[in-house]
């Protein structure tokens, strides 16, 4: 979508009406996103909102004592600062750049002002916030119900949906945080997916080889949140519509 010669690459911004796009455009600045750059800090006032055009950001929960785990993933499908859409000024989570890229940045005050002037703009951003909450819920379900390599398959699919290429770079350190396991667990999970010929992995690069196979491995935990994103925003997210069902019991036997 082009507004006064500016091409939005973020899917939310692409979905805006001409009126809403022109309402936001003067308030935006294009910024580069560096690896590990903080976009939000837990329990601190949100100063700016980032609409990612490339790269990825992780929403991270921390417990007392310092250990962390990824609870949300944001790419060109979304925005940071979702607390603002619910009239809150801070988040209980950290958000930082996981893969470098670029974004359209707007101050929190300017976003509030624009939302107050447009019901349709406010509605879209609130609906996206709802979809991110659904994503977080299914991440919790996956963490509780499926194996490490199956959770890794789901995460790879989610990253793949938000990238232009079939490969991306990620550190074992970050994968450990995402999966909530130590480095040896990450290595075993990657090797398992490689042995199944679902991915290639070398020196931090992950290559998606068999997307359908990855989807089947997720036991139905990939798909529901993607469907909800598309239902709520009207924007297609996933690169595949093959979402398998899983008829195994939700509760594991003792």
User: For the segment 175-186, what is each residue's pLDDT rounded down to a tens digit?
Assistant: 887 777 888 888
Residue with tokens 């990657």: 190
Query: Given this model, what pLDDT does residue 245 score?
Result: 55
Interacting residues of 140 by C-beta distance below 8 A, sequence separation 6+: 71
Cβ contact 170:160 at 8 Å: no
pTM: 0.91
pLDDT at 67 over 90: no
User: What would you measure as the largest C-alpha separation in the chain, in angstroms?
Assistant: 61
- At 153-169, the pLDDT tens digits run 999 999 999 998 999 99
- At 192-208, the pLDDT tens digits run 999 999 999 988 899 99
pLDDT at 248 over 90: no
Query: Given this model, what pLDDT does residue 204 score?
Result: 86
Predicted confidence band at 254 (pLDDT cuts at 50, 70, 90)? Answer: very low
- At 79-107, the pLDDT tens digits run 999 999 999 999 999 999 999 999 999 99
Nearest one of 173, 38, 12, 205 to 104, comparing CA atoms: 12
Give the mean pLDDT of 23-33: 95
Supply the angle between the helices 119-145 and 148-161 in degrees, to the nearest 10: 160
């Amino acid at each position: 979508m082009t507004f006064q010669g500016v091409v939005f690459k973020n899917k939310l911004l692409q979905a805006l009406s001409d009126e809403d796009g022109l309402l936001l455009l003067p308030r935006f600045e294009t910024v580069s996103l560096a690896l590990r750059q903080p976009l939000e800090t837990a329990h601190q006032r949100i100063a700016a909102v980032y609409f990612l055009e490339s790269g990825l950001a992780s929403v991270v929960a921390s417990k007392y004592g310092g250990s962390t785990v990824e609870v949300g993933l944001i790419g060109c499908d979304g925005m940071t600062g979702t607390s603002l859409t619910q009239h809150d000024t801070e988040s209980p989570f950290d958000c930082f750049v996981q893969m470098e890229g670029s974004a359209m940045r707007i101050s929190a005050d300017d976003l509030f002002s624009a939302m107050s002037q447009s019901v349709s703009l406010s509605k879209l951003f609130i609906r996206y916030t709802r979809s991110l909450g659904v994503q977080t819920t299914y991440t919790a379900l996956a963490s509780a119900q499926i194996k490490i390599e199956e959770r890794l398959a789901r995460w790879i699919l989610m990253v793949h949906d938000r990238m232009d290429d079939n490969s991306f770079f990620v550190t074992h350190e970050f994968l450990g945080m995402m999966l909530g396991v130590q480095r040896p667990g990450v290595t075993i999970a990657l090797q398992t997916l490689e042995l199944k010929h679902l991915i290639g992995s070398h020196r931090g690069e992950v290559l998606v080889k068999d997307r359908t196979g990855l989807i089947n491995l997720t036991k139905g935990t990939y798909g529901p949140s993607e469907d909800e994103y598309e239902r709520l925003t009207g924007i297609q997210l996933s690169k595949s519509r093959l979402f398998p069902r899983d008829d195994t019991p939700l509760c594991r036997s003792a």
